[in-house]
A and B are shown apart, each in its own frame.
Chain A
Amino acid sequence: MPTRRSFLASLAATVPLAVFVRRAHAAAVVHLQGDPATLDALALTVLPSRLGRPGIAREAASFRDWAANYKESAELVHGYGTSRLRSTGPTPLTRWTTQLDQLDADAQRLHQHRFRELSAANREQVVRDALKGERLDRMPTVVDANHVAVALLAHFYESPGAADLCYEAQIGRQTCRPLAAQSSKPRPILKVLER
């Protein structure tokens, strides 16, 4: 069976660019869904432990779903005060899957194990090294995140669940909630979330 990289290389040699990009996205989705362990290990490394292991696994799955359903060249919400239309850019997933492969390669090189097999401290070090040279001065939006580790963080931290965890309150941002309840202080979150 060809590796993902050799498969992509053979694709690039034979098909027009737009088709190649579409197929490359599809191949990256298959790759990520087929072997999610590196991403799951990355999520364990960068997301807060207070989510608990099941919570972290859910976040990683939600990120995978985000990435799989990304559409290129989709019209973005219209700008205000301008007639210029904007569309979504090329899929970031091909880059992110390459970076996941790279985390594995770095782990092999430094510790002779795959990334998912490393201790928490070693995993963290591999991620820190990978993020050297990245722009980290602000939390980007998911799609603007260059590195998959930052994308994973951005995906979690822009979620309503993250805000609830931060404020330790059931705010439920951008979810359907009774209007009348907004006059009261949000109720505390159930501690069960914080395992």
Chain B
Amino acid sequence: MNRRAIETDVCIVGSGISAAMIAERLARTTSAKILVIEAGDDTVPLAQRPAARERFLRYNENPWGVDHLEGYEVVGPLQSRSMQVGGLAMHWGAVTPRFSPEDFKQHSLYGVGTDWPITYEELDPFYQEAEELMGVAGAQGPDDLDPRGKPFPLPAIPLTYNLELLKKWASSAGIVMWSQPAAKNSIPYRGRPTCCRNDTCSPICPIGAKYSPDFTWNALRKTNRIALTTRMLVRKLVLSPDGKSVSHAIAVNRDRPDEPVELHAKQFVVAAGYTWSSHLLLLSAQDKAPNGVANSSGLVGKYLAGHRNVQTTVELPLKLYPGMNEQHSLVTKQFMRLKSGSEYIRHDLRIWESSSGRTARLIDDAGALMLGDAILDDWRRRTRTGTARVRAYYDVIPDRSSELTLDATRKNAYGDPLPKLAFRDAPESESMRGRTEESIRGLFADMARAGNGRLLRAPTVDNFQDHPSGGCRMGNDASSSVVDSWGRTHDHANLFVVGAPTCVSGSCANATLTFCALALRSARELEKALPRSTTTRSGTVE
């Protein structure tokens, strides 16, 4: 069998947003040869996105072409099937809050969960770097709740007329809210235009106002600073004879599956997201690592984390105009900080304009069919007052058995078992679940009352744990974690796992900015082992 070998300094597995961050920084600060391997196809070019968006709007078609691998139907809640250059962040809504300082020391502050081996303050410069790279537009919240070393790189997305009214409503319920930070251009930034609020950020921005990793990849490819190989699936990491480092990776070119590829590198970075990173480590079991690479702790695939949400729609005596910018919202971190002595109930809170309960209908209250002007008249009557969508992500402490395992019953085209996912709450979260959801329902009811409104429907709980992370949690102790605080695996000196998988817990806010900050911090460590860049380039490459 023909075997092709490729040599490089750094081999990055995956081309999602965490990979883009790390590649961008290494390309800027080192002169290392960087090879990025992506299992999926290239993404849809910017010029084709308006047309793709149009078909999404008309027919709900996937605007991202073929962005999945055949046969990857897995058991359990996979966040998304998307696998392509840019990863899930081609589809993302680009909502980019930071975690709060409390998230990193849950155990020492509140006696639950596990402390991270880093503090918020240590992560702050990397948050800033990620925000600058992507172009995050944000409003500074109250300093104590929303601390940051430097201002947001871009001015906040202005509140819509609707959100201004809803902010006053929240304030009447004693809640201080502000514009949700987002990686969307409030002004032109790094060659990309200002957001024109056409409101399809997730799944697709037709003009490139929303940051997605392809912009970073395009710039890096243009300057030949990296090589990005698509349609190549890394199947195994092979250890050196002493088992202390990774010697090479074995990959399959999806177009020539009979010719395996060996990827030799000084440093390996697994940046394949919360599912595929642990999956690859487990698939790589070999004599020197019988339970999988980097798995001497037995914790690879364990402690999958995330947050659940409770949401509802509130009817308010306000004249609102839904459609002004439905994907933008208000946010508060007020409930992410506990009052001393109170139970461990932590959540964020967001409010959006909504058209829920206010769409046109076909039959009137008496059940009679309406046609012609009657439908419009009825609709006009019902939209004299408006509705708001309210949602709280709440903290879930992950259990060790919240896990990804290999599914012996399902295999991909190359015979490798697929992953199986199961999320479970730690006992402290399990016991608090009912009271947490009750408390949030109570808050929604109080808010409705404060605005002389009412809940349009009973709040619902989504069992999906959103913004999933974990599986290779970080820590100082090699027996209770997979990687150190920099993402370097405890077991193998030249193997890093970066971003989502390394999280200790999932907080109660959208988590991707945190994954990016962690990836940039890993890059900071990796660059110590690589030749420094001889050309000084400031800022990020775009």
A contact residues vs B (CB 8 Å cutoff): 45-50, 66, 69-71, 74-85, 88, 124, 127-128, 131, 136-139, 141, 143, 150, 153, 157, 160, 162-163, 165-169, 171-180, 182-186
Contact = CB atoms under 8 A, between A and B. Distances in A.
A66 B198 CA distance: 20
A167 B161 contact: no
B323 A160 contact: yes
Contacts of A45: 371-372
Nearest to B164: A183
A60 to B, nearest CB: 14
B61 A75 contact: yes
Nearest to A84: B73
A163 B323 contact: yes
A131 B370 CA distance: 11
B321 A185 contact: yes
A124 B373 CA distance: 12
Interface stretch (B79-87, B225-233, B285-293, B424-432): B79-87
A45 B194 CA distance: 42
Interface string B27-40: 00000000000000
A171 B61 contact: no
Interface residues on B, range: 35 or more
Interface in B320-335: 321-326
A166 B62 contact: no
Contacts of A69: 58
A124 B371 contact: yes
B383 A166 contact: yes
A122 to B, nearest CB: 13
A128 B371 CA distance: 9
Interface of B: 55-63, 66-68, 72-74, 77-82, 91, 157-161, 164, 186, 194-200, 203, 207, 321-326, 355, 359-363, 369, 371-373, 375-376, 379-380, 383, 464, 466
A94 to B, nearest CB: 17
Nearest to A186: B321
B373 to A, nearest CB: 5
Contacts of A179: 157-158, 186, 194-197
15 contacts: A49-B372, A76-B61, A81-B79, A83-B73, A128-B369, A128-B371, A137-B362, A139-B362, A167-B321, A171-B323, A171-B324, A177-B198, A179-B186, A180-B158, A184-B161
A163 B379 CA distance: 9
A174 B77 CA distance: 30
Given A163-B323, A177-B198, A46 B80 contact: no
A150 B363 CA distance: 12
B359 A139 contact: yes
Listed from nearest, the 3 A-B pairs whose CB atoms lie closest are: A173-B323, A81-B464, A176-B196
Nearest to A75: B62
A131 B73 CA distance: 40
A161 to B, nearest CB: 11
A157 B160 CA distance: 23
A48 B200 contact: no
B219 to A, nearest CB: 24
A172 B197 CA distance: 10
A78 B63 CA distance: 10
B139 to A, nearest CB: 13
Most B CB atoms within 10 A — which of A69, A76, A167, A179? A179
Contact of B199 (A165, A167, A169, A173): A173
Contacts of A150: 362
Given A66-B58, A166-B383, A139 B360 contact: yes
Contact of A82 (B61, B77, B321): B77
B161 A183 contact: yes
A141 B207 CA distance: 26
A77 B62 contact: yes
Given A166-B383, A173-B323, A182 B161 contact: yes
Most buried by A among B55, B81, B322: B81
A153 B375 contact: yes
Contacts of B62: 74-78
Contacts of B322: 163, 171, 173
Given A153-B375, A173-B323, A182 B158 contact: yes
A166 B321 contact: no
B161 A47 contact: no
Nearest to B75: A83
Contact of A88 (B61, B72, B194, B379): B61
B323 A172 contact: yes
Contacts of B157: 179
A162 B61 contact: no
A66 B376 CA distance: 22
Contacts of A47: 372
A82 B196 contact: no
A176 B49 CA distance: 14
A70 B77 CA distance: 31
A186 B353 CA distance: 14
Contacts of B326: 173
A74 B61 contact: yes
Contacts of B466: 81
Nearest to B374: A48
A50 B373 contact: yes
Contacts of B79: 80-81
Given A80-B79, A182-B324, A138 B59 contact: no
Given A172-B323, A174-B57, A177-B198, A85 B160 contact: no
A186 B361 contact: no
Contacts of A78: 62, 67-68, 80-82, 91, 203
Given A176-B198, A183-B158, A166 B363 contact: no
Given A143-B59, A182-B325, 8 more contacts: A45-B372, A77-B63, A77-B203, A78-B81, A79-B80, A139-B362, A178-B196, A179-B186
Given A124-B372, A163-B322, A166-B380, A186 B196 contact: no
Contacts of B63: 77
A191 to B, nearest CB: 15
Contact of B198 (A50, A153, A171, A175): A175
Contacts of A74: 55, 59, 61-62
A171 B324 CA distance: 6
Contacts of B58: 66, 69
Nearest to B76: A83
A176 B372 contact: no
Contacts of B72: 83
A75 B164 CA distance: 38
